[in-house]
Amino acid sequence: MAEPPTIDAVVIGAGFGGLYMVHRLRELGFSVQGFEAAADLGGVWYWNNYPGARCDGESLAYSYSFSDALQQDWSWSERYGGQPEILRYLNAVADRFDLRRLFRFSTRVLAARWDEDAARWIVETDDGGQVAARFLISASGCLSAARVPDFPGMETFSGESYHTGQWPKEPVDFAGKRVAVVGTGSSGIQIVTAIAPEVASLTVFQRTPNFSVPARNRSMDRTHEARVKADYRGYRDEARGLILPKEAGKPASGFNRPPMGSGHDFTAAEREAELLARWNHGYGGAPLLFAFRDMMTDPEINEFAADFVRARIRETVADPATAELLSPKGYPLGAKRICVDTGYYETFNRDNVALVDVKADPIERITPSGIMLASGRAFAVDTIVFATGYDAMTGALSRIDIRGRNGQRLRDKWAEGPRAYLGLMAAGFPNLFLMTGPGSPSVISNVVDSLEQHADLIGDALTMMRAAGHITIEPERDAEDRWVAHVDDVANTTLWPRAASWYKGCNIPGKPQVFMVYVGGPAAYRRICDEVKADGWRGFRLAGQAPAREPARAGAR
Ligand code: N01
């Protein structure tokens, strides 16, 4: 095969991360080619168009900050954007900044090999193409590798079946159908609530109950929006935890109602009142999780809040046995990703909805007519929805055959758990950047914000290298080791690792169980990255003089 021309960068994925990354690089004067396996842009917001899909971070925050004109011009219709609106937003961003032409859609990256001699990545795609690039940037997503369980008999099912993360683009008709939903994480909770009113019957197969708190979604309060837009920078910095809200306990941003201090500083009645305020007035979701600064570090405070949520479930669900089954026990609130809903628990008061405990009686097989449990209990259904989650954090990357120095595979390097300095780069894999990679705040942060931060950091790295004439950047092994140990140490001071969660890889049989998120907080992480950069990219090895070369022609500039 003829030598492919070398461009500056390949970016994998056209979601929030990839879209901004290509924009940033082009702005800095680098040639860039993006690849996206889907037919169109949007990433998770392209794939997750199941009924009820909605963001559970406030859209004023879960949106790009890189362009003030953009954030001033765009107006969200609701407090929490629904999937169609978020996808419209991403399309509008792509049009506004002319990003579409930087991507090849319906093109999956299959493999990437580091070419030591030429100091470049050779990237192979499923259309048989090859591209060579000095830098390879993965924006392939933390929750994009869908996991459909391999129940025996899957292929025998005579009805329709879907995974929430691979939802078809043509409408799915649920009206009058007998539907099974397997899985009660964020996706399951949303789709159950959305389709219950239209189906004939809905059977929810729950293995582990999750804590869910009300979103209190509503039409955008235009006064609030105007206040945010008058000081968007301040709002973002507050949401990032970089500055304190202006009035203690009464923030300008609903997103970031600040912690009240230690839970121990308050009486039980005061704690209850604070939790209730958050529950009732729409500081639901993550802000409930951070009601007190020791919620995720002190088992007693956490258990108090867990009890509070269980009491709300008992209050809401009419049938005590169902309420009991829906009540999470045995792991801390928040240690499995907290869910945010609009009437989830109420749904179980409907006559056409039933809850089945598949922890006690696991799904044994899929039959032509539906689902059979180990006990032999059988459920005849027309449609099965698998809301069974993802091979999170590492799944999308592991599905690409990435080989670094000496042909080492990334998935082999990560056989005992992912290792990456700052969650950004892995030793032995020069010039490979992982946006919101394992060991960064990623999924325990506002992920759009974290993606922007990584894109800016990567842009800074490439600019610095161009100016200094460096060819490669790669973490030093001991910097990587220290960071991985630090991520682990920080996690172990919290309650997060105390649940069998996808944060730890527990949902994937055989996956090493390592806590994969930096939980020191996005503000601390941002400061560390800024210091690393200011300190001459401490912990990174920079090498070589850039070869004199023709300006790249492939890709767009
Ligand atoms: O996936 P999950 P998800 N038999 O892994 C169950 C983000 N997100 O797609 O807990 C029976 O959370 C599994 O049971 P268990 C968000 O970060 C955000 O819902 O392993 N059940 C669990 O109940 C979220 O956390 C939004 O025991 C089986 C469920 O399937 C992340 O994506 C919306 C099973 C999987 O839940 C993933 O959420 C949607 C089996 N064999 C997603 N295998 C918002 O912004 C798995 N399960 C709102």
Report pLDDT digits (tens) over 508-525: 999 999 999 999 999 999
Instruction: Give residue 177's region: left, alpha or beta (phi > 0; psi -120 to 50).
Output: beta
Of 508, 487, 507, 497, the C-alpha closest to 441 is 487
Longest dimension (CA), the chain: 74
Q: Whose CA is nearest to atom 45 of ligand 1?
A: 55
Q: How far is the CA of 189 from the centre of ligand 1 (A)?
A: 9
Yes or no: say if 249 and 219 are a contact pair by the CB < 8 Å rule. Answer: no
Closest residue by CA, ligand 1 atom 22: 183
- Residue 154 DSSP label: G
How many whole angstroms from 40 Cα to the centroid of ligand 1?
Answer: 24
Question: Distance, CA 186 to ligand 1 centroid (Å)?
Answer: 6
Which residue CA neighbors atom 16 of ligand 1 most closely? 186
Give the residue, by CA position, lying nearest to ligand 1 atom 8: 186
Instruction: Kindly tell me the burial class for residue 510, based on how many C-beta atoms sit within 10 Å of its own C-beta (0-12, 13-18, 19 or more).
Output: exposed
At 366, which amino acid appears?
Answer: I
- Map 461-515 to HEC letters: HHHHHHHHCCCEEEECHHHHHHHHHHHHHHHHCCCHHHCCCHHHCCCCCCCCCCC
CA 86 to CA 75: how far, in whole Å?
11
DSSP-assigned states of every residue in 312-349: HHHHH-SSHHHHHHHS--SS-TTTSPPEEESSHHHHTT
Q: Crossing angle, helix 447-468 and helix 522-534, to 10 degrees?
A: 0
DSSP string, 10-59: EEE--SHHHHHHHHHHHHTT--EEEE-SSSSS-THHHH--STT-B-SS-T
Testing ligand 1's pocket by substitution, the residue of 142, 507, 513, 516 carrying the most ligand atoms inside 8 A of its CB is: 507
Cβ(403) – ligand 1 distance below 6 Å: no
Q: Is the CB of 55 under 6 A from ligand 1?
A: yes
Cα 40 to Cα 58: distance, rounded to the nearest angstrom: 25
Q: What confidence score (pLDDT) does residue 27 get?
A: 98
Backbone region of residue 180 per phi and psi (left: phi > 0; alpha: psi in -120 to 50; beta: other values): beta
Ligand 1 centre from 14 Cα, in Å? 23
Q: Which residues of the chain have pLDDT under 70?
A: 1-2, 243-258, 282-286, 545-557
Q: Whose CA is nearest to atom 11 of ligand 1?
A: 207
Of 49, 186, 516, 517, the one to substitute when testing ligand 1's pocket (max ligand atoms within 8 A of C-beta) is 186
Nearest residue to 133 (alpha-carbon basis) of 156, 147, 114, 161: 114
Measured distance between the N- and C-terminal CA atoms of the chain, rounded to whole angstroms: 25
How far apart are the C-alpha atoms of 512 and 492, rounded to whole Å? Answer: 17
Q: Sort 514 into a burial class: Cβ within 10 Å, 0-12 / 13-18 / 19+.
A: buried
With the most atoms of ligand 1 within 8 angstroms of its CB, the residue from 143, 342, 359, 503 to mutate is 143
Q: Is the CB of 31 under 6 A from ligand 1?
A: no
Per residue in 374-418, pLDDT (tens digit) is 999 999 999 999 999 999 999 999 999 999 999 999 999 999 999
pTM value is 0.95
DSSP string, 186-222: HHHHHHHHHHTTTSSEEEEEESS---EEE----B--H
Which residue has the CA at smallest separation from atom 29 of ligand 1? Answer: 183
Cβ–Cβ < 8 Å for 374, 205: no
Ligand 1: nearest atom to the Cα of 388: 30
- The pair of three-digit structure tokens given for residue 383, joined into one six-digit string: 């449609």
Please say whether the beta carbons of 352 and 345 come within 8 A. Answer: no
Q: Which three-class secondary structure state does DSSP give residue 252?
A: coil
532: helix, strand or coil: helix
- Which two three-digit tokens encode residue 513? 């169980």
Pocket test of ligand 1: the residue of 356, 357, 388 to mutate, having most ligand atoms within 8 Å of its CB, is 388
Phi, psi of 525 (to 5 degrees): -65, -45
CB 323 within 8 A of CB 317: yes
Residue 502 Cβ contacting ligand 1 at under 6 Å: yes
Q: How far apart are CA 12 and CA 464, in angstroms?
A: 22
Q: Is 385 helix (H, G, I), strand (E, B) or coil?
A: strand
Taking the alpha carbons of 460, 466, 469, 470 in that order, is the dihedral positive or negative? positive
| Residue whose token pair is 């089945």 | 356
